């Protein structure tokens, strides 16, 4: 069976983020699943490079639209390579082949009478590259989709007879339950079309970055960017050129975000009807990844780069999180915290640890070679039910149910270990343990096969350990003999980088505090006393030093202190100061100094002597 799977072609005016990665990973997973089922798959992605939006972005970046498009298109290509996306082809709307195809499509519709010339007067949103009627606009003529300002356009324009296809479109939605998925989105589209469709302006004259209308007298018209872009799905198959790949068109599924549903569920099928081509089997529109409830955008600065996640965790972990977290069609808040929780509880504990425990028991008890000994475990059949549900779910594009059912089967395998306690059973019944491990290994084998479209690297590792080939047919085979290989951990526990950094910082601070601080015993070694200045004079030969004679109550001391720049010696006589009195005596400038007078240092380095707030006994102990 031939299956055609597409992503939207991404605008080259922005850096890719996890929203773009989400669509591409969904399409990649589905493509890998269909290949697993032995379908012949053609999986397409690419970049959308024409239009006013790109022309304006290029201008802002002081470059030509083509140079700008080349750079960002390459970045997308590289990103998909780094994310191990298995696309069969990467299309660019600036490809010559594509441009030729779009012109032929335009002419075919024109010759059919579905295109006519008139004048467009209305509102245009450059960000969405979309026309709106006055009644569709929000307050202050804002775009109903992206909420940005719209521009008033009055241009001569070619129009596509969209209104002509209104009834046929409604029939298509109603007669084909899967035409648009999820159903809630299909109902929105039906309600929109039922309000009536106006003909669609499909050419522009106020800028020139696009494919020229292929009619001799109208070279200043460029083809509307959405007609250009949507046609990529046909041009990539060689439509109206070399049509070798066109059989894929019989079974096409378009994965898109809900933001571009109108173009794919209304305009595109109408264009296809005009071309007398079959309609796609399904237009599947997923929801949005939000950050704290807000749309990701460069201007808000909340854009998440998928490669940062891959570098911090792994590509398998990113794919698993994006697909398992929210039901297809719903919006969801991106949370790194939840991603870490999911990786640790599901990938590490339920899957990775199950594999490690099973293989290590197989090694310990059977030296990695096991053969079935007739004991049937019912749990293995229960697990099979969940695998069947998982297949049904992915066929219905319910990616989170597909994964959760596989994990329900893995839970059964984990519970078999705790229920039958093979470490105890081995002492009395080796055969039963061998059959038990074989049953568990069969559950792991099925999980490995069914998870291979998502966990692309770890299931490869696991297949080597199980010594199996990842093949769909193997799902229905109960393997009776295993000759295993040892396997390193499939997943390692992860921590939030931010939390890890905080923990390390706190630990360092604590260590530093340990080193910087003294204990109470250390403090007890210090003796400070109040002393009164009996006399004070400058030290000959030193600019800094003053020599003090001090009264400590029952003894007198001579102490030198480096505060000559801050005090006049005469002013200090009679004052009480603080003395570190058990400091070893030393000789400074030939004078004995028996202690240290304490002072505080200002920011400008000047010194201030410490003194009790009210007079006290000379020799009083400080502490
Ligand atoms: N060029 C058009 C598509 C033409 S297809 C013939 C376009 N490009 S885009 O670069 O804006 O990409 C839009 C797609 O990126 C969305 O439809 C969606 O698939 C994906 N996403 C972009 N941001 C997203 C989120 N925040 N969340 C989920 N997906 C989003 O529109």
pLDDT tens digits, one per residue of 349-398: 999 999 999 999 999 999 999 999 989 899 999 999 999 999 999 999 99
Tell me the C-alpha distance between 102 and 225, whole Å. Answer: 11
Q: Where are the beta strands (DSSP E) in 344-430?
A: 369-371
* pLDDT tens string 102-141: 999 999 999 999 999 999 998 999 999 999 988 889 999 9
Q: Distance from the CA of 8 to the center of ligand 1, in angstroms? A: 7
Q: Is 593 in contact with 501 (CB distance < 8 Å)?
A: no
The yes-or-no verdict on residue 300 having pLDDT over 80 is no
Query: Which tokens belong to 226?
Result: 């959405």
Mind listing the domains of the chain with CATH numbers? 2-286 (3.40.50.620), 336-483 (1.10.730.10), 521-622 (2.40.50.140)
Tell me the C-alpha distance between 53 and 367, whole Å. Answer: 64
Q: Is 4 in contact with 253 (CB distance < 8 Å)?
A: yes
* pLDDT tens string 195-236: 999 999 999 999 999 999 999 777 799 999 999 999 999 999
Whether the CB of 256 sits within 6 Å of ligand 1: yes
pLDDT reported for residue 219: 79
Tell me the C-alpha distance between 51 and 28, whole Å. Answer: 27
Q: Where are the beta strands (DSSP E) in 421-571?
A: 481-483, 528-538, 546-551, 556-561
Nearest Cα residue to atom 24 of ligand 1: 19
349 secondary structure, DSSP code? I
* pLDDT tens string 501-556: 677 777 787 777 777 788 888 888 999 999 999 999 999 888 899 999 999 999 99
The yes-or-no verdict on residue 30 having pLDDT over 80 is yes
φ/ψ (deg, to 5) at 222: -105, 150
Q: Is 153 helix (H, G, I), strand (E, B) or coil?
A: strand
Q: Is 278 helix (H, G, I), strand (E, B) or coil?
A: coil
**Dihedral sign, CA of 603, 608, 610, 611?**
negative
Q: Which atom of ligand 1 approaches the CA of 288 most closely?
A: 27
Mutation test of ligand 1: which of 20, 76, 224 has the most ligand atoms closer than 8 Å to its C-beta?
Answer: 20
Q: Which atom of ligand 1 approaches the CA of 295 most closely?
A: 26
pLDDT reported for residue 435: 97
Q: Is 169 in contact with 269 (CB distance < 8 Å)?
A: yes
pLDDT reported for residue 518: 83
CA-to-CA separations, 308 to 78, 313, 318, 372, 614, in angstroms, rounded: 14, 9, 10, 45, 63
Render 80-114 in DSSP notation, one character per residue: HHHTT---SEEEETTSHHHHHHHHHHHHHHHHHT-
Q: Which of 100, 89, 91 is nearest to 31 (CA)?
A: 89
pLDDT reported for residue 484: 98
Higher-confidence position of 342 and 511: 342
The yes-or-no verdict on residue 15 having pLDDT over 90 is no
Cis peptide, bond prior to residue 28, ω within 30 of zero:
no
pLDDT reported for residue 314: 97
Tell me the C-alpha distance between 430 and 432, whole Å. Answer: 6
φ/ψ (deg, to 5) at 240: 60, 15
Q: Distance from the CA of 391 to the center of ligand 1, in angstroms? A: 27
φ/ψ (deg, to 5) at 131: -95, 145
pLDDT reported for residue 417: 98
Residues making up the annotated binding site are 125, 128, 143, 146
The yes-or-no verdict on residue 310 having pLDDT over 80 is yes
Higher-confidence position of 146 and 281: 281
Nearest Cα residue to atom 20 of ligand 1: 20
Whether the CB of 19 sits within 6 Å of ligand 1: yes
Query: Which tokens belong to 364?
Result: 């310990």
Q: Mapped to the 3 state alphabet, what secondary structure does 321-345 carry?
A: HHHHHCCCCCCEECCHHHHHHHHHH
Q: Is 541 in contact with 589 (CB distance < 8 Å)?
A: yes
CA 20-23-24 angle, 5° bins: 85
Placement of tokens 């099928």 in the chain:
269
Tell me the C-alpha distance between 528 and 439, whole Å. Answer: 78
pLDDT reported for residue 240: 97
Contact partners, residue 62, CB within 8 Å, separation at least 6 = none
Q: Is 352 in contact with 52 (CB distance < 8 Å)?
A: no
Whether the CB of 322 sits within 6 Å of ligand 1: no
Strand order of the sheet with strand 89-92? 89-92, 40-48, 2-11, 252-257, 282-286, 180-181
φ/ψ (deg, to 5) at 597: -85, 130
CA-to-CA separations, 7 to 31, 254, 261, 472, in angstroms, rounded: 11, 6, 13, 25
pLDDT band at 239 (very low <50, low <70, confident <90, very high): very high
The neighbour count for residue 142, using CB atoms within 10 Å, is 16
Q: Is 602 in contact with 608 (CB distance < 8 Å)?
A: yes
pLDDT band at 302 (very low <50, low <70, confident <90, very high): confident
Whether the CB of 383 sits within 6 Å of ligand 1: no
pLDDT reported for residue 315: 98
* pLDDT tens string 584-603: 998 888 899 999 999 999 98
Q: Phi-psi bin for 104: left (phi > 0), alpha (psi -120 to 50), beta? A: alpha
In this prediction the pTM is 0.81
> Between the CA atoms of 494, 500, 501 and 507, what dihedral angle is there, to the nearest 10 degrees?
-150
Tell me the C-alpha distance between 60 and 206, whole Å. Answer: 18
Q: Which of 173, 164, 155 is nearest to 112 (CA)?
A: 164
Q: Phi-psi bin for 446: left (phi > 0), alpha (psi -120 to 50), beta? A: alpha
Query: Which tokens belong to 435?
Result: 């059959």
- Let me know if 121 is exposed, middle or buried by CB neighbors in 10 A (0-12, 13-18, 19+): exposed
Q: Is 115 in contact with 158 (CB distance < 8 Å)?
A: yes
pLDDT band at 22 (very low <50, low <70, confident <90, very high): very high
- Mean model confidence pLDDT for the chain: 95
Mutation test of ligand 1: which of 259, 333, 399 has the most ligand atoms closer than 8 Å to its C-beta?
Answer: 259
Query: Which tokens belong to 268?
Result: 């595109």
> Between the CA atoms of 497, 503, 505 and 508, what dihedral angle is there, to the nearest 10 degrees?
-140
Q: Is 235 helix (H, G, I), strand (E, B) or coil?
A: helix
Residues making up the annotated binding site for Zn(2+) are 125, 128, 143, 146
Q: Distance from the CA of 20 to the center of ligand 1, in angstroms? A: 6
Query: Which tokens belong to 290?
Result: 């939000």
Q: Which of 231, 263, 243 is nearest to 95 (CA)?
A: 231
State the Rg of the chain over Cα: 38
φ/ψ (deg, to 5) at 582: -105, 25
Q: Distance from the CA of 13 to the center of ligand 1, in angstroms? A: 12
């Amino acid at each position: 069976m031939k299956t055609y799977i597409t992503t939207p072609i991404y605008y080259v005016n922005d850096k890719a983020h996890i929203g773009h990665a989400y669509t591409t990973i969904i399409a990649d997973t589905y493509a890998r699943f269909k290949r697993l089922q032995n379908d012949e798959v053609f999986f397409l992605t690419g970049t959308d490079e024409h239009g006013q939006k790109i022309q304006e972005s290029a201008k802002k970046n002081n470059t030509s639209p083509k140079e700008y498009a080349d750079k960002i298109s390459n970045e997308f290509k590289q990103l998909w390579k780094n994310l191990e996306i298995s696309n069969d082809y990467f299309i660019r709307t600036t490809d010559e082949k594509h441009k030729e195809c779009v012109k032929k499509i335009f002419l075919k519709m024109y010759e059919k009478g579905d295109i006519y010339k008139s004048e467009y007067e209305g509102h245009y949103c450059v960000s969405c590259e979309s026309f709106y009627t006055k009644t569709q606009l929000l307050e202050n003529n804002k775009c109903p989709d992206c909420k940005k300002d719209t521009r008033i356009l009055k241009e001569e324009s070619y129009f596509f007879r969209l209104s002509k296809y209104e009834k046929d479109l409604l029939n298509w939605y109603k007669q084909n339950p899967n035409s648009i998925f999820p159903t809630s989105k299909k109902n929105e589209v039906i309600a929109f079309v039922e309000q009536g469709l106006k003909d669609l302006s499909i050419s522009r004259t106020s800028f020139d970055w696009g494919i020229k209308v292929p009619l001799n007298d109208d070279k200043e018209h460029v083809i509307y960017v959405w007609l250009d872009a949507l046609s990529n799905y046909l041009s990539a198959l060689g439509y109206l050129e070399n049509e070798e790949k066109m059989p894929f068109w019989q079974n096409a599924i378009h994965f898109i975000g809900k933001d571009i549903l109108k173009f794919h569920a209304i305009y595109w099928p109408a264009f296809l009807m005009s071309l007398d081509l079959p309609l796609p089997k399904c237009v599947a529109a997923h929801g949005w990844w939000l950050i704290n409830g807000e749309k990701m955008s460069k201007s808000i600065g909340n854009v998440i780069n998928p490669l940062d996640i891959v570098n911090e965790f792994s590509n398998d972990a990113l794919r698993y999180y994006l697909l398992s977290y929210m039901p297809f069609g719903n919006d969801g808040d991106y949370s790194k915290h939840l991603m870490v929780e999911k990786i640790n509880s599901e990938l590490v504990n339920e899957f990775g640890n199950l594999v490690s425990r099973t293989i290590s028991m197989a090694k310990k008890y059977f030296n990695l070679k096991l053969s079935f000994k007739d004991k049937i475990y019912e749990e293995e059949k229960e697990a099979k039910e969940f695998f069947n549900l998982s297949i049904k779910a992915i066929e219905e594009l319910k990616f989170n149910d597909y994964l959760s059912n596989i994990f329900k089967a893995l839970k059964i395998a984990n519970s078999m270990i705790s229920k039958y306690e093979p470490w105890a059973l081995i002492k009395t019944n080796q055969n039963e343990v061998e059959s038990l491990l074989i049953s568990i290994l069969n559950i792991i084998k099925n999980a490995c096969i069914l998870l291979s479209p998502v966990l692309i690297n770890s299931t490869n590792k696991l297949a080597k350990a199980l010594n199996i080939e990842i093949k769909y047919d193997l799902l229905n085979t109960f393997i009776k003999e295993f000759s295993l290989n040892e396997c390193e951990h499939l997943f390692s526990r992860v921590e939030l980088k931010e939390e890890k950094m905080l923990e390390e910082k706190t630990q360092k601070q604590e260590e530093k505090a340990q080193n910087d601080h003294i204990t109470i015993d250390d403090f007890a070694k210090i003796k400070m006393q109040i002393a009164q200045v009996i006399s004070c004079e400058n030290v000959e030969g030193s600019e800094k030093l003053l020599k003090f004679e001090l009264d400590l109550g029952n003894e007198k001391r001579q102490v030198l202190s480096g505060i000559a720049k801050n005090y006049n010696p005469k002013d200090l006589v009679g004052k009480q100061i603080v003395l570190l009195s058990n400091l070893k005596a030393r000789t400074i400038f030939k004078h004995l100094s028996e202690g240290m007078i304490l002072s505080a240092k200002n920011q400008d380095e000047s010194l201030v002597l410490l003194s009790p707030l009210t007079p006290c006994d000379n020799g009083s102990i400080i502490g």
